[in-house]
């Protein structure tokens, strides 16, 4: 659409909306794009925390957790199609204060993850410069450029942003498959070796498996971000469940292949502390083609992730502004590009504060914890959703099977993960709980007075049961 025609159409109806242009492929790209970076770095700390077997068990347990998340989310979001995603779900199902908290979880989880990605880009370029004999590269300009460029892309329109994400995510995913197949076909100079599984099965015992769950989340963290596209998808009731499910299937395959190749090629003690495990695995094969491919894969996956994070965090911030949970100034849509442009610009310096000022593991833990709080919310959200609007009372785009088993399973796995985070990062957990408690009190006793009560409920649903 040309700028002139957009301007003309906005003058006719005098209402600006986000542009509804996305298909299921873009939803897949948004979900998998944010997450796939977890395969390229981060997941391997789970091997360090519990050994090789614990790494695999954590990979599958976390996979189970996220399958529950994807099913629950698909059902609710195919019904509540709004840009805030889980924020809008909470607002309709649990209540305003919960919604404010969920909005904060989303913005924190994604902004922190974006910062972590930008830090990684700087780190990788420094490593490559080091390999070429240039030591002491200044990482700052590259970190800033990553954030600025992606913010600019997001500002200019959602279709280009997510099409870009689709391409680079697909390349990064194919890189993992190529590595797996080449190693299977004998392209590696060194054989796969799994002897540590028998010689040192569980170096930390069973506790190690629970501890490994902390970083096991990394294989999939962020797949729930598909919901934030709800207002920009052509057919939310169909595309969102489809894109989300395809995404989780992609990730389950990628995660298992990644574990297999990396555990086979890298001694687990090294793997447990490696910065870029898939790239290291390619180095062990001694094949320079694979090395280049996996380097590109690593860069692309970090960019895709940061890009998706900007998209999601700004949607959540925008939705909160629109409802006056935050100043209404943020609830603006760009008249030409149809993006929440003020939120995008506002979140740039925030991401930079974290990317330039805080150590990587802190930022990551903050992100994981915000995500975890969000998953805990989904469990009782789902149960309340089925209670207040039982099947048959409203039209659902997708109905997930075995309710309430997935919700209960999710709650059990979340509790185990809280304990895993507590082993080692207990102080952060407590600091963050204090943060959310203070923020909640601030909202309830101060900020909520500026919110219009009835206007928050925007879905054309019947009255909830028992209210």
Segment 69-88, which members bind another protein (CB under 8 A)?
81-84, 88
Q: Which is nearer to another protein, 250 or 298 (CB)?
A: 298
Is residue 67 involved in binding another protein (CB under 8 A)? no
Cα Rg of the chain (Å, integer): 22
Q: Which is nearer to another protein, 229 or 252 (CB)?
A: 229
For residue 342, how many C-alpha atoms fall within 13 Å in the half-sphere facing its CB? 15
Long-range contacts, 461-466 (Cβ 8 Å, 24+): 461/92, 461/389, 461/394, 462/389, 462/393, 462/394, 464/388, 464/389, 465/387, 465/388, 465/389, 465/390, 465/393, 466/387, 466/388
Q: How far is the CB of 412 from another protein (least distance, A)?
A: 14
Contact 232, 22 (CB under 8 A): yes
Judge if the upstream peptide bond of residue 231 is cis by omega within 30 degrees of 0. Answer: no
Burial class (CB in 10 A: 0-12, 13-18, 19+), 359: exposed
With contacts defined by CB under 8 A, name the span among 52-60, 177-185, 300-308, 445-453 that binds another protein: 445-453
With contacts defined by CB under 8 A, name the span among 33-41, 168-176, 252-260, 269-277 that binds another protein: 269-277
Is residue 394 involved in binding another protein (CB under 8 A)? yes
Q: Which is nearer to another protein, 95 or 405 (CB)?
A: 95
Q: Record the tokens describing residue 30, joined without a space.
A: 């948004």
Binding marks (x or -) toward another protein, 292..331, rule CB under 8 A?
Answer: ---------------------------x--xxx-xxxx-x
Is residue 428 involved in binding another protein (CB under 8 A)? yes
Is residue 412 involved in binding another protein (CB under 8 A)? no
Among the listed residues 21, 127, 137, 253, the single contact to another protein using CB under 8 A: 137
Dihedrals phi, psi of 79, to nearest 5 degrees:
-100, -40
Is residue 199 involved in binding another protein (CB under 8 A)? yes
Is residue 289 involved in binding another protein (CB under 8 A)? no
Tally the residues of the chain.
467
Is residue 334 involved in binding another protein (CB under 8 A)? yes
Q: Record the tokens describing residue 161, joined without a space.
A: 């942003």
Q: How far is the CB of 225 from another protein (least distance, A)?
A: 18
Is residue 113 involved in binding another protein (CB under 8 A)? no
Is residue 200 involved in binding another protein (CB under 8 A)? yes
Is residue 436 involved in binding another protein (CB under 8 A)? yes
Contact 399, 75 (CB under 8 A): yes
Minimal CA–CA distance to 387: which of 301, 467, 282?
A: 467
Among positions 26-45, residues that touch another protein (CB under 8 A) are none
Is residue 4 involved in binding another protein (CB under 8 A)? no
């Amino acid at each position: 659409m040309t700028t002139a025609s957009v301007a003309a159409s906005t003058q006719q109806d005098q209402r600006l909306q986000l542009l509804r242009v996305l298909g299921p492929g873009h939803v897949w790209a948004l979900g998998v794009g944010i997450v796939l970076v977890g395969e390229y770095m981060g997941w391997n700390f789970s091997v360090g925390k519990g050994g090789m077997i614990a790494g695999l068990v954590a990979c599958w347990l976390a996979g189970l957790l996220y399958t529950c998340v994807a099913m629950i989310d698909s059902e609710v979001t195919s019904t509540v199609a709004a840009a805030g995603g889980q924020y809008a779900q909470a607002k309709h199902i649990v209540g305003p204060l919960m919604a404010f908290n969920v909005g904060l979880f989303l913005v924190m989880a994604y902004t922190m993850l974006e910062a972590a990605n930008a830090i990684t880009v700087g780190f990788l370029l420094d490593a490559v410069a080091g390999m070429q004999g240039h030591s002491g590269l200044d990482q700052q300009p590259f970190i800033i450029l990553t954030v600025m460029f992606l913010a600019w892309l997001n500002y200019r329109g959602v279709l280009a942003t997510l099409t870009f994400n689709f391409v680079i995510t697909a390349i990064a995913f194919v890189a993992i498959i190529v590595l797996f197949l080449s190693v299977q076909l004998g392209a590696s100079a060194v054989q796969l070796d799994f002897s540590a599984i028998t010689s040192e099965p569980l170096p930390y015992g069973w506790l190690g498996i629970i501890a490994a769950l902390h970083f096991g989340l990394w294989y999939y963290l962020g797949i729930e971000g598909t919901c934030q596209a709800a207002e920009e998808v052509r057919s939310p009731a169909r595309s969102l469940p489809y894109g989300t499910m395809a995404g989780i299937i992609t990730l389950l395959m990628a995660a298992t292949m990644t574990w297999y190749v990396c555990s086979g090629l890298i001694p687990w003690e090294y793997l447990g502390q490696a910065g870029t495990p898939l790239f290291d695995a390619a180095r062990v094969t001694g094949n320079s083609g694979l090395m280049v491919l996996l380097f590109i894969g690593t860069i692309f996956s970090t960019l895709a992730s940061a890009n998706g994070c900007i998209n999601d965090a700004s949607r959540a911030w925008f939705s909160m502004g629109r409802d006056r949970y935050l100043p209404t100034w943020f609830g603006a849509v760009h008249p030409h590009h149809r993006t929440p442009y003020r939120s995008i610009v506002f979140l740039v310096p925030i991401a930079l504060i974290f990317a330039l000022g805080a150590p990587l593991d802190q930022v990551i833990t903050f992100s994981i914890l915000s995500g975890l709080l969000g998953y805990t919310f989904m469990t009782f959200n789902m149960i309340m959703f089925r209670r207040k609007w039982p099947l048959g009372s409203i039209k659902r785009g997708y109905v997930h099977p075995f309710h309430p088993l997935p919700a209960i399973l999710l709650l059990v796995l979340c509790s185990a993960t809280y304990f895993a985070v507590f082993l080692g990062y207990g102080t952060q957990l407590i600091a963050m709980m204090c943060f959310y408690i203070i923020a909640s009190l601030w909202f309830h006793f101060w900020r909520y007075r500026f919110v219009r009560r009835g206007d928050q409920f925007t879905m054309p649903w019947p009255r909830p049961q028992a209210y």
